[in-house]
């Protein structure tokens, strides 16, 4: 017993004395690698070291190799990489640090060579004094210099590179820009790693590209866009104001203290409707959704009835179904319980977002905020939507994730049409396997929508049925449901 106590004491002493800076994130070893041939404007070929992250062709390229290869071209950029930070300055010649454009050094007696980096994580990258967020791998190269490996797709979008990949390697046209051939991409299975997806113009109602757009799937916290709409309808109808105070219920406090809680709350505490809306849409607070629902309708169940009625009133399909105000899974109150979630199709979500942008454009005052102060809770909150950071024209909208729904993201950006008119491009992605896929695909869709608009293409208009208002009784509700069928 004394020996055990002594060992425990020594362990605690070691932890206490260990410098905080020595705590490292888990390392990842990579055995799929490639010395990718790279040419600029058809010139001499250089080597860009590439890690195929977990799966073949999921390429993460060496940013130092790329910077060195582009030095002296129209796409030149300076690069600084530390253990946890990356800084890019475009238009500045790259200063070599060592090991650039050299092949991977593989000892002759090693057959399962692995490159070791820090774990893949969402890192802040400073580019031209603007902070963006991308998933990267950071580690040291053979010259013992920190290097950053970044997804080939993300690199192309971040630096606006016109890249082509074939059996001869990677080719860059410095006179071009990032461009997507959606027909070719769809033929290659571009959308197959998600449940459904869509990109369209909320201003004109046109859909530019989609996949399984009519498939009703779990939508997680993107539900909160419908919650926002119903709250703003209540404000518009004079039921409450943004400055009204909401008394936090015992249910809201309990939810805030659960694993799904975001903002700590106490029963009896008061919060403004404004602060609850910011909490609803920025950090995706489930307890804020519940507090608003209970305040407006007396119970969440009554508020959910309003959500479903509103869905029908604005022309969503009968497959758009809500069980709660926040998008969390709900278990039925039975012995053999069923786990159910709010469902909607990508097309329905497109119509919902289009309606919100038309009726309550002030939503963008919330969703395009990087950070907001919530005086009611004496705290500040950050926007969970990565598009806000990566695309200057982005205006939100909403993230969402559950085990069943996968990683979901509804985003929008402001774009200018050839005639000079302001348009809003909306991208919807439901069911990505993780945040990495969610970020990359959503950014691709938004950029494609912007490209589609600028090139003057025409899409397929999606016009919802004429609004008939919220059904006032069971008979009107039945007629509304039949109308959708």
> What is the model's pLDDT at position 115?
81
Give yes or no: residues 143 and 115 share one domain. Answer: yes
Give yes or no: residues 204 and 90 share one domain. Answer: no
Checking if the pLDDT of 483 tops 60, the result is: no
Checking if the pLDDT of 477 tops 50, the result is: no
Give yes or no: residues 143 and 240 share one domain. Answer: no
Domain termination residue (choose one: 134, 151, 179): 179
Average pLDDT, the chain: 90
Give yes or no: residues 328 and 367 share one domain. Answer: yes
Residue 291 within a domain = no
For residue 416, the enclosing domain spans: 196-245+305-478
Average pLDDT value for residue range 152-161: 97
Checking if the pLDDT of 466 tops 60, the result is: no
The CA–CA distances, whole Å, from 467 to 45, 309, 316, 480 equal: 60, 12, 10, 10
> What is the model's pLDDT at position 481?
42
Residues 400 and 327: beta-carbon distance below 8 Å:
yes
Q: What is the pLDDT of residues 450-459, one digit of tens each?
A: 999 999 765 5
Q: Give the percent of the chain with pLDDT over 90.
A: 83
Mention every residue, 6+ apart, whose C-beta is less than 8 A from residue 342: 218, 219, 220, 223, 321, 322, 323, 324, 327
> What is the model's pLDDT at position 76?
97
Higher pLDDT, 322 or 463: 322
Give yes or no: residues 137 and 207 share one domain. Answer: no
Mention every residue, 6+ apart, whose C-beta is less than 8 A from residue 150: 60, 61, 63, 134, 136, 137, 158
Residue 289 within a domain = no
Give yes or no: residues 91 and 204 share one domain. Answer: no
Domain termination residue (choose one: 179, 210, 236): 179
Q: How far is CA 454 from the centre of its chain?
A: 24
Residue 75's closest CA among 57, 86, 85, 63? 63
Residue 250 within a domain = no
> What is the model's pLDDT at position 16?
35
Give yes or no: residues 471 and 342 share one domain. Answer: yes
Bridge partners (DSSP) of residue 130 are 127
Q: Quickly tell me which residue has 């299975």 as its tokens.
A: 189
pLDDT band at 27 (very low <50, low <70, confident <90, very high): confident
Average pLDDT value for residue range 436-441: 96
Residue 395's closest CA among 361, 369, 422, 368? 368
pLDDT band at 106 (very low <50, low <70, confident <90, very high): confident
Domain holding 330: CATH number? 3.40.710.10
The CA–CA distances, whole Å, from 38 to 30, 45, 164, 174 equal: 21, 5, 10, 13
Residue 265 within a domain = no
The C-alpha atoms of residue 324 and residue 297 are separated, in whole angstroms, by 13
> What is the model's pLDDT at position 456?
72
Q: What is the reported pTM?
A: 0.88
Q: What is the pLDDT of residues 349-402, one digit of tens each?
A: 999 999 999 999 999 999 999 999 999 999 999 999 999 999 999 999 999 999
How many domains does one find in the chain? 2
Checking if the pLDDT of 301 tops 90, the result is: yes
Give yes or no: residues 53 and 161 share one domain. Answer: yes
Checking if the pLDDT of 19 tops 50, the result is: no
Give yes or no: residues 90 and 154 share one domain. Answer: yes
Give yes or no: residues 216 and 353 share one domain. Answer: yes
> What is the model's pLDDT at position 111?
64
Give the dihedral sign, CA 429/395/439/224: negative
> What is the model's pLDDT at position 462?
54
Mention every residue, 6+ apart, whose C-beta is less than 8 A from residue 286: 221, 255, 260, 261, 262, 326, 327, 328
Checking if the pLDDT of 254 tops 60, the result is: yes
Residues 47 and 102: beta-carbon distance below 8 Å:
yes
> What is the model's pLDDT at position 114?
75
Residue 280 half-sphere exposure toward CB, CA atoms < 13 A: 30
Checking if the pLDDT of 1 tops 60, the result is: no
Q: What is the pLDDT of residues 235-252, one digit of tens each?
A: 999 999 999 999 999 999
Give yes or no: residues 319 and 467 share one domain. Answer: yes
> What is the model's pLDDT at position 473?
45
Average pLDDT value for residue range 285-306: 98
Residues 429 and 462: beta-carbon distance below 8 Å:
no
Residue 29's closest CA among 116, 149, 135, 144? 116
Residue 384 half-sphere exposure toward CB, CA atoms < 13 A: 21
Residue 16 within a domain = no
Checking if the pLDDT of 25 tops 60, the result is: no
Higher pLDDT, 47 or 20: 47
Residue 251 within a domain = no
> What is the model's pLDDT at position 112?
66
Residue 147 within a domain = yes
Residue 18 within a domain = no
Domain termination residue (choose one: 125, 150, 179): 179
Q: Quickly tell me which residue has 């050094």 as its tokens.
A: 105
pLDDT band at 109 (very low <50, low <70, confident <90, very high): low
Q: What is the pLDDT of residues 276-293, one digit of tens each?
A: 999 999 999 999 999 999
Checking if the pLDDT of 22 tops 80, the result is: no
Q: What is the pLDDT of residues 30-85, one digit of tens each?
A: 888 999 999 999 999 999 999 999 999 999 999 999 999 999 999 999 999 999 89
> What is the model's pLDDT at position 144?
92
Give yes or no: residues 169 and 208 share one domain. Answer: no
């Amino acid at each position: 017993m004394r020996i055990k106590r002594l060992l425990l004491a020594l362990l605690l002493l070691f932890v206490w004395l260990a410098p905080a800076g020595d705590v490292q994130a888990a390392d990842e070893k990579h055995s799929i690698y490639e010395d990718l041939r790279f040419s600029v404007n058809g010139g001499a070929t250089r080597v860009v070291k590439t890690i195929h992250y977990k799966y073949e062709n999921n390429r993460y390229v060496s940013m130092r190799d790329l910077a060195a290869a582009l030095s002296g071209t129209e796409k030149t950029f300076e690069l600084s990489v530390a253990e946890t930070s990356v800084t890019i300055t475009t238009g500045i010649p790259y200063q070599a640090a060592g090991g650039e454009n050299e092949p991977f050094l593989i000892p002759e007696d090693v057959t399962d060579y692995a490159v070791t980096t820090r774990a893949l994580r969402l890192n802040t990258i400073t580019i031209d004094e603007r902070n963006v967020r991308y998933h990267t791998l950071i580690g040291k190269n053979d010259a013992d210099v920190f290097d950053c490996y970044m997804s080939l797709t993300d690199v192309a979008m971040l630096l606006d590179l016109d890249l082509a990949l074939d059996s001869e390697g990677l080719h860059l046209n410095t006179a071009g820009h990032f461009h997507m051939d959606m027909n070719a991409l769809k033929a290659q299975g571009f959308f197959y790693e998600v449940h459904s997806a869509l990109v369209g113009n909320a201003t004109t109602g046109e859909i530019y590209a989609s996949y399984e757009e009519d498939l009703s799937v779990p939508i997680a916290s993107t539900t909160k866009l419908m919650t926002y709409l119903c709250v703003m309808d209540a404000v518009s109808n004079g039921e409450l104001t943004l400055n009204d105070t909401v008394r936090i219920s015992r249910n809201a406090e309990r939810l805030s203290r659960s694993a799904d809680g975001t903002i700590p709350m106490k029963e009896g505490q008061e919060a403004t409707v404004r602060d609850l809306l910011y909490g609803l849409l920025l950090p995706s607070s489930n307890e804020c959704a519940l507090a608003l629902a209970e305040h407006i309708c007396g119970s969440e169940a009554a508020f959910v009835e309003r959500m479903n009625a509103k869905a029908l009133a604005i022309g969503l399909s009968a497959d758009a179904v809500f069980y709660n105000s926040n998008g969390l899974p709900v278990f039925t109150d039975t012995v053999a319980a069923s786990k159910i979630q709010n469902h909607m199709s990508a097309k329905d979500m497109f119509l919902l977002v289009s309606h919100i942008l038309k009726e309550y454009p002030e939503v963008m005052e919330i969703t395009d905020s990087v950070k907001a102060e919530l005086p009611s809770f004496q705290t500040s909150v950050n926007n969970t939507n990565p598009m806000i950071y990566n695309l200057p024209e982005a205006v939100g909208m909403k993230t969402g994730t559950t085990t069943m729904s996968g990683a979901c993201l509804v985003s929008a950006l402001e774009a200018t049409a050839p005639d000079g008119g302001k348009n809003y491009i909306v991208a919807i992605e439901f069911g990505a396997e993780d945040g990495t896929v969610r970020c990359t695909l959503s950014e691709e869709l938004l950029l494609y929508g912007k490209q589609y608009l600028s090139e003057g293409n025409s899409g397929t208009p999606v016009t919802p049925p004429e609004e008939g208002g919220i059904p006032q009784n069971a008979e009107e509700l039945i007629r509304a449901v039949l109308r959708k069928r």
